[in-house]
């Protein structure tokens, strides 16, 4: 367990250094021995961390030479992409890209959930929506964000698709960051409450197309609010 944790730590530190520009894209990765000495770990731990970063497309193996650091545009691992997306310089573009992905995934999730949701799921959604209303009235942004995320999580679980859940989990950290930024705006919170209420109404009818359309409307409103209130130039 300790070995896994050390490897994970090296992955995180190397990824942070690459994202910060301390290790630059298209340049060679420093020798394993140098990295090991700098981070206070064994060369084997560094080798395992590099292998994990290779699997995410962050580091490219070059035959007969040291590994090369790939540009962020070539990264394929969701974990690495999300970590890069949360940085200040990439957040604006990434928040819009995330919304595009959410449109594709969450509209389908709502469609499935309309047919598969249980009475308990609907009750949980009603409770989350009420929490959003209370938090909005109190001006409690953190509580509002938590209730918002829980609402969407109930829909994902109600869709009853394990691959869907596994796909969305790594995006949670990005969702938390973007929700905190947008939910600080009073108008956005009011719009969100109305859109969530419409999604709940559609799910209660059990009509999959109505649920899909309600979620699509929510995503459009979210994008419009993001461009209007947050991405102002």
- Asked if residue 163 belongs to a domain, the reply is yes
How many domains, the chain?
2
Assess whether 73 and 102 both reside in one domain: no
Site of tokens 């679980």: 157
CATH number of the domain at 25, please: 1.10.10.10
CATH number of the domain at 204, please: 1.20.120.530
DSSP 3-state of 59: strand
- Asked if residue 85 belongs to a domain, the reply is no
d(C-alpha 190, C-alpha 61), whole Å: 50
d(C-alpha 58, C-alpha 68), whole Å: 9
Assess whether 112 and 171 both reside in one domain: yes
**What pLDDT, on the 0 to 100 scale, is given for residue 86?**
75
145-158 burial string, b = 16+ CB within 10 Å, else e? bbbbebbbbbbbbb
d(C-alpha 98, C-alpha 105), whole Å: 10
- Asked if residue 84 belongs to a domain, the reply is no
Pick from 46, 79, 112: which residue ends a domain? 79
pLDDT along the chain (233 residues), means of 10: 77 94 94 95 96 96 91 89 76 83 95 98 98 97 95 97 89 76 92 98 98 97 91 66
Structure tokens at 83: 């970590």
Assess whether 61 and 139 both reside in one domain: no
**What pLDDT, on the 0 to 100 scale, is given for residue 171?**
79
Assess whether 56 and 108 both reside in one domain: no
End-to-end CA distance of the chain: 48
- Asked if residue 159 belongs to a domain, the reply is yes
**What pLDDT, on the 0 to 100 scale, is given for residue 1?**
45
**What pLDDT, on the 0 to 100 scale, is given for residue 98?**
85
Pick from 24, 47, 79: which residue ends a domain? 79
**What pLDDT, on the 0 to 100 scale, is given for residue 80?**
87
- Asked if residue 143 belongs to a domain, the reply is yes
145 Cβ contact partners less than 8 Å away, ≥ 6 residues apart: 176, 179, 180, 183
CB 99, CB 141: distance < 8 Å: no
pTM score over 0.85: no
Assess whether 134 and 207 both reside in one domain: yes
Burial of 166 (0-12, 13-18, 19+ CB in 10 A): exposed
Structure tokens at 42: 């064994």
Residue 142 is part of which domain span? Answer: 90-230
Assess whether 58 and 27 both reside in one domain: yes
**What pLDDT, on the 0 to 100 scale, is given for residue 179?**
80
Assess whether 49 and 107 both reside in one domain: no
d(C-alpha 170, C-alpha 85), whole Å: 12
Pick from 79, 103, 125: which residue ends a domain? 79
């Amino acid at each position: 367990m300790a070995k896994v944790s050390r490897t994970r730590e090296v992955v995180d530190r190397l990824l942070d250094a690459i994202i910060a520009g301390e290790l630059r894209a298209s340049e060679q990765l420093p020798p394993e021995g140098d990295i090991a000495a700098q981070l206070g770990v064994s060369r084997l731990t560094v080798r395992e961390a590099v292998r994990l970063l290779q699997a995410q497309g962050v580091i490219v193996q070059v035959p007969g030479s040291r590994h090369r650091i790939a540009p962020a545009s070539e990264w394929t691992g969701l974990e690495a992409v999300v970590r890069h997306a949360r940085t200040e310089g990439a957040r604006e573009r990434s928040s819009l890209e995330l919304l595009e992905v959410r449109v594709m995934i969450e509209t389908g999730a709502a469609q499935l959930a309309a047919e598969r949701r249980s009475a308990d799921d609907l009750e949980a959604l009603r409770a989350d929506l009420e929490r959003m209303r209370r938090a909005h009235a109190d001006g409690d942004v953190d509580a509002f964000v938590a209730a918002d995320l829980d609402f969407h999580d109930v829909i994902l679980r109600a869709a009853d698709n394990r691959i869907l859940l596994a796909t969305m989990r790594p995006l949670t950290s990005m969702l938390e960051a973007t929700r905190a930024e947008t939910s600080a705006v009073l108008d956005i919170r009011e719009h969100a409450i109305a859109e969530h209420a419409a999604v709940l109404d559609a799910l209660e009818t059990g009509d999959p197309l109505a649920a899909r359309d309600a979620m699509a409307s929510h995503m459009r409103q979210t994008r419009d609010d993001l461009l209007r209130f947050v991405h102002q130039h």
